[in-house]
Amino acid sequence: MALGYALAVLATLASGSGSVLASTGVRRAGAYGGTSLDLIALRRQWLYFLGLGVDLLGFAFAAAALHRLPLFLVQSMLAFSVGVTATISVFMGSRLGTPGWGALGVGAAGLILLGVSADPGPAATLPPQWRWVLVFMAVPVAAIALYARHHHHVWATVALAFGAGVSYSIVGISARTVDFPDAVWRLVLEPAAWAIALNGLAAAVLFAMALQKGGPTTVTAIMFTTNTALSSAVGLIYLDDRVRAGYTTAAAAGFILAITGAIAVAHYTADTRQKGRSTTPAGMLS
């Protein structure tokens, strides 16, 4: 049980720190706030690729944690990795006001309640046909991307953020239910492994498209809420995820606090960056 909690914490730390490294690489390449063609400059930014590597390591930790802990706990912790990102950014020179620190405290309190409420254990086995359903969930998500590519109204941004949240939840559900074979190469025959790869790619693309079209706070709020709520509901209803007896109220409160805190931290972090860009001379931006 302790190993599962340790892996979930490592996943959260890796995800948050990987975001900082990748973001630093994007800024150094001069691709922040630019067009998709500007991303070509990232090929020379080792910090960006180091960030991606740390993110992948975080995913490995999360997948291992999901074999021991319920989705509602691990997914909430991963959502709160934005708090890790904000804290590291503060040590690197960014500012986070009192409301931001308060949001961190709210989210941390929620995670503590979730950690106490969760009943560790493996997930129920999904029938093979449902594992293939997880794989093909990437198709309707891709349709959302195609729709939003040709529309620029606010609902296109909402659809992209929602689609990213759905894909991320499918990744979590697949990681929770993946059946690791004795031989590693047999993973290519495991539908859940394909669901993780395809939906993970779809989620990353849709989230990036959503950020190009809309504000980071709105996009992050929709994505976090969809991801955690959908995956937690599936885990509790279909995968035998459990809350300790007598801790249902604490779990519900913890879930609300954790997600609210994560969204609030994202909001105050984005607000701080926006103010910084508006008050910093263009020649001083790096």
Does the pLDDT at position 212 exceed 80?
no
Q: How far is CA 16 from the centre of its chain?
A: 10
Return the closest-CA partner of residue 78 out of 206, 237, 247, 223.
223
How confident is the model at residue 24, as a pLDDT?
Answer: 74
Q: Using H for helix, E for strand and C for coil, what is the string for 14-63?
A: HHHHHHHHHHHHHHHCCCCCCCHHHHHHHHHCHHHHHHHHHHHHHHHHHH
Give the mean model confidence (pLDDT) for residues 120-139: 89
Q: Give the list of residues 6+ apart from residue 33 with CB closer than 8 angstroms, or none.
A: none
d(CA 196, CA 50): 21
Instruction: Tell me the pLDDT of the chain averaged across its residues.
Output: 83
Does the pLDDT at position 260 exceed 60?
yes
d(CA 16, CA 85): 5
What is the residue whose two structure tokens read 């922040």?
Answer: 32
What are the C-alpha distances in Å from 52 to residues 5, 55, 167, 232? 23, 5, 18, 26
Residue 284: pLDDT band (50, 70, 90) is very low
What are the C-alpha distances in Å from 273 to residues 7, 79, 95, 189, 282? 31, 20, 9, 45, 14
Q: Which of these ranges, 87-101, 102-116, 164-178, has the smallest mean pLDDT?
A: 87-101
How confident is the model at residue 286, as a pLDDT?
Answer: 29
Q: At what angle do helices 71-79 and 248-279 cross, to 10 degrees?
A: 20
How confident is the model at residue 273, as a pLDDT?
Answer: 58
Residue 114: pLDDT band (50, 70, 90) is very high
d(CA 68, CA 53): 24
Q: Are 168 and 66 in contact (CB under 8 A)?
A: no
How confident is the model at residue 86, as a pLDDT?
Answer: 87
Structure tokens of 76?
A: 């909430």
d(CA 176, CA 69): 9
Structure tokens of 262?
A: 């994560």
Question: In percent, how much of the chain has pLDDT > 90?
Answer: 43
How confident is the model at residue 282, as a pLDDT?
Answer: 35
